Amino acid sequence: MGRVPNVTRADTAAAVRNPLAFIAARWTPQPRTVQRAALTALVMAVVIVVTGGAVRLTGSGLGCPTWPKCTEDSIHNTAEMGVHGYIEFGNRLLTYVLCAAVGWAIIAARSEKPYRRGLTRLGWAQFWIVMGNAVLGGIVVLVGLNPYTVAAHFLLSSALIAVATVMWQRTREGDAAPRPLVGTSVRQLVWFLVGASALLIAVGTVVTGAGPHAGDSSEVERMPVDWETVTKLHAVLAWIVVTLTFALWFVLKAVDAPRGPLLRTRGLFLVLLAQGVIGYVQYFTDLPEILVGLHMLGSAVTWIAVLRVLLALRERPDTAAAAPAASAQAYEATSVSMAGPR
């Protein structure tokens, strides 16, 4: 059995004063560990969207009729509340799992050597989005599933997915200045794609807010817009995103772009096709709950795929590896200038 190190009063005080710095001083995770932590946070961000959709689609949105407790007298659901209480309270419990995943990502990023401030800030950004969304989720319950608050709840979850995706990408690259892999016009096209995708998601929340799945079996307020009209607008935006993706793939082929952006664009196109099939099938089959849930999952996956295309348009080498290369180039240039023309 190994010797147990002495823990002094100063160590205890330091751990209480700044626990992250205390852990970072004693643990250096492998790069793969940091990547897995960031990926876990991203996966949990998607899971919480899917389970939140399950709460809505099973009519369990008011399974816990108050917040932060489940009932006025109990922090958790009771047997008398039935299956809806279990579903709603289970989704609330998953928020703690999400917090743990984000916390692990923060600790891993903070402990990586050398210290990467930008990576750690991305972890903290996720934490504050989760906290904000938890409060917003409570407001959703307290106002009886008002569709505007429900839409905001979903959009904030999409923001969480965006930050988690960026952090996951950043764990697999260095901190050197980003170097574009394609021209300005191609990057502008991708930004149009990102903007159209964000608008598609936003209009999707209006489709849900005006549609029949109110999230509870009782009468719940719906958005005062024509559901058929807004659904057709959503479909038009989806076709715009598909067209932009198709055009991007041809442009990348024409400019002989690197393999990374091409592969991610092709992946996005396949995800969009699957999402489109699900969307049309659910529309013509009167919105069965299972297909609506799959469409919500597809929305999260599509958003991740769009952001991954954007992030593939540049590379950021490790600064430690970039410095020797720059020094070698400078040395070679100096040697040539000293040697003079031959």
pLDDT digits (tens, 9 = 90+) for 69-91: 898 888 988 888 889 999 999 99
pLDDT score, position 341: 43
Dihedral sign, CA of 204, 206, 210, 212? Answer: positive
pLDDT score, position 25: 87
Task: Report how far residue 223's alpha carbon sits from residue 207's, in angstroms, rounded to the nearest whole number.
Answer: 9
Reply yes or no: is the peptide bond before residue 180 cis, omega within 30 of 0.
Answer: no
Of 40-49, 112-121, 324-333, where does mean pLDDT reach its minimum? 324-333
pLDDT tens column, 157-178: 999 999 999 999 999 999 889 9
pLDDT band at 334 (very low <50, low <70, confident <90, very high): very low
- For residues 10 and 23, the model is more confident at 23
State yes or no: pLDDT of 110 exceeds 80. yes
- 88 with 217: CB under 8 angstroms? no
pLDDT more than 70, % of the chain: 88
Task: Report how far residue 112's alpha carbon sits from residue 273's, in angstroms, rounded to the nearest whole number.
Answer: 39
Task: Report how far residue 216's alpha carbon sits from residue 218's, in angstroms, rounded to the nearest whole number.
Answer: 5
State yes or no: pLDDT of 228 exceeds 60. yes
pLDDT score, position 214: 81
State yes or no: pLDDT of 23 exceeds 60. yes
- For residues 30 and 4, the model is more confident at 30
Mean pLDDT of 18-23: 85
First to last CA, the chain: 69
When the pLDDT of each residue in the chain is averaged and rounded to a whole number, the result is: 88
Mean pLDDT of 25-32: 92
pLDDT tens column, 273-314: 999 999 999 989 988 889 999 999 999 999 999 999 999 999
105: left (phi over 0), alpha (psi -120 to 50) or beta: alpha
- For residues 339 and 128, the model is more confident at 128
pLDDT more than 90, % of the chain: 71
pLDDT score, position 212: 87
- Give the three-state DSSP class for 187: helix
Mean pLDDT of 104-122: 95
Q: Closest Cα to residue 234, out of 267, 196, 271, 269? A: 196
pLDDT score, position 220: 87
pLDDT score, position 9: 61
pLDDT score, position 163: 98
pLDDT score, position 1: 43
